[in-house]
Structure 1
Amino acid sequence: MKLIDTRDAAGHVLCHDLTQIIRGVTKDARFRKGHVVTQEDIPVLLSMGKEHLYVWDKQPGMLHEDEAAFRLQALCQNEHMHATPVKEGKIELIADIDGLFRVDVARLNALNGEDEIMIATRHTNTAVHQGDKLAAYGIEVTEHCLPGDDRTAITAAALDYKARGVGLILCTGGMSVDPDDKTPRANRDTGAEIVSYGALVLPRITAGVRVSRADLKALGTGGLCLGCPQCRYPVCPFGKS
């Protein structure tokens, strides 16, 4: 794949689902991977903040994210599960029968130690039923800012907060759905040590305890949010080993 200016994207094939967020209206993929960009799409893409797009330019040794998702599905699915359609590079497995869900935790941890792929599951030895999915917390918000999609501005804002003694700086980029998000490189530009690109649970905070890559990859088991109608986190098994 290659990165091009959105204004020049007509006729190119998108490599990723692109999510449109309109507060109170929608938060879903507006354009699906494989979509051929038209001239009419360009103003919409720009309104979504997509100044650049990754378009398909397949090279030897590379996989489309859908292909990778199907390979991970093949590793996990058995005859008592069915899969959801692939969406934003993700597939969910759903139980077809009541039973005991068991995970080969050692193999899961080994796979999650690889870059750019991950599997999150319910806890091993969890009782599940047919149709079950198998796969703000005491902090004072002192200030927030909107530096925009500008790498230098994001870095400057983070360093400013650090200099003023802010204990936890959260950068709410969209790396999981927007591959051209400037946030990862902006974070690196601050001089911070990147312990892991992508954590296996959402959300995950650290408070005074150094977190290692091994700690994060071990959270694949139990790292699947079930999307309950009423969230009771942290009084639930989510994110607990």
Structure 2
Amino acid sequence: MRLENIPLDQAVGAILVHNIVGADGRKAFSKGRVLTAEDVEKIRALGKATVNVAMLDPDDVREDDAAARLARAVAGDGVELSKPSGGRVNLYATTRGFLRVNRDALNQVNELNGVTLATISRFAPVAPRKMIATLKTIGLALPDATVRAVEEIGAVTSVAPVINRRAAIILTGSANGRARVEEIFVPPIRARLEELGAQIVSQEFVAEEENAIADAIADAIARAGAQLIVIAGETSIMDAEDVTPRGITRAGGVIELYGAPVEPGNLLLLAYRGAAPIIGAPGCIKSRATNVVDLILPRLLAGERVTRADVIALAEGGLLVG
């Protein structure tokens, strides 16, 4: 592509590089417009004899055509595209789940001159029609070789859908505190699970005792068929050897992590009993404000086995307040 200032007599079919303002001070012609004979005469009537245009080389792809091809290349499963406009295409989720981003591929795409691709945060929970990324070409055309390079890189973004999983809620505390615990914890926990498509198959309140917690976990999995368990209590888990982690271990669970570099949510406990994740929820789960549980729950409900390393990786951007 070459940028030239040419006489209006030669401008038909050329691409306008700059906006042109009419006699009323408003934009009369937008950059990127392919000039027609009628356009040329209107521009001439504004007192202009020349115009700044882009002249495409034989292997150039116009911005909207390029943007459409690029967007199709970087979009993976669970992603739909807007129509190209001004070299931009927005990418949207088609299903509820969380965003996967291939970081290496994202960097490769953005290393190419004339291509920019920005996404929301990796692993962010998404719903249908949520914008997850935007692609913009820089300039009025791109070499076909650049477009083909992105097509060879392949998908950058995809949405991992939430599976309709069966979830159980276990609450712990004293008999005197039961009503209060249920009042403050159940609504926000149920809302989080149900908004992500989970089916709540059991809810139980037990004493904050190792055996009681272990029995509740076993019952939730064996009798109710729970595939994910959330445990919340009158008091947050204060140590890896506290009552709740001991109960999880007694039930056959394995502690993956206690303590997360995310605020709110430092006192998160994550464990697994077989394939079933068990969340020892921090006290902040009683609020609907975003906390560590919101960062991992979509991934767990999508069937991903979140590891200690995955939670530690949340440290960058893990300060969710302030």
State the TM bucket, normalised to the shorter chain: 0.3 to 0.5
- The structure whose residues are more often helix, as a share, is 2
- The structure whose residues are more often strand, as a share, is 2
Structure (1 or 2) with the larger CA radius of gyration: 2
| Structure possessing the higher relative contact order (Cα contacts under 8 Å, 6 or more residues apart) | 1
With structure 2 as the length reference, what TM-score do the two structures score? 0.34
